[in-house]
Amino acid sequence: MATVIPKVKLGSQGLVVSQQGLGCMGMSGNYGLPKPEADMIKLIHHAIDSGVTFLDTSDVYGPHTNEILVGKALKEGGLREKVQIATKFAIRHVDGKMDVCGDPAYVRSACEASLKRLDIDCIDLYYVHRIDIRVPIEVTMGELKKLVEEGKVKYVGLSEASASTIRRAHAVHPLTAVQNEWSIWSRDLEEDIVPTCRELGIGIVPYSPIGRGFLAVGPKLAENLTDGDFRKVHMCI
């Protein structure tokens, strides 16, 4: 019997998700080497059996392999209708360097590619992973609005955006969620982002709420990180 995890309305546009979500990034790298696929599929199934319905991924995780993993897990269990899938676009690697792109043509191609990797017809929540300062957010949102109208995306969100960018984006098409780092050691968003989202009826999805594991394990976490774990550098900044 599934554990009862409360459902909550995320924002004011109609999306309902489990109060606790499952961030899938670490399954495909970033926090050390990618984990065994079979084990991660079992983990995803266990989370869903426990009442978690909100799964978070991105095209840059892997890159690409995390979306494939999530899609495979859902297909194997026949679980698509039980979950809400959040994925993201905008961060890409070009010539070995990270780039951010919000160009309309790229928005569309990224969405089509994510749908294919996830093996689904519609993305429940599609985030702009980072803001491309070379492209007005209104232009990026205009293409996302078209994808919603075409039924390829249900709800739209932003990640790590300023309050002014949130307002400008929301004026083009209503935002359902903003995802920012938020924990007891990362509270910058409380000054401007939280009040703006509350005013506009936008939900907030915290990422790294336990400080990428540091707040659960303590200083010893940093001592035991492998060379492939980006936290080894990140936590020293």
What does residue 196 show for φ and ψ, rounded to 5 degrees?
-65, -45
d(CA 42, CA 159): 28
* Rounded Cα–Cα distance for residues 148 and 122 (Å): 9
Cα 169 from Cα 136, distance rounded (Å): 9
Between CA 155 and CA 174 the distance in angstroms is 8
Residues 71, 104, 13: CA angle, nearest 5 degrees: 60
Q: Is 61 a catalytic residue?
A: yes
Cα 204 to Cα 177: distance, rounded to the nearest angstrom: 5
The residues annotated as belonging to the active site are: 61
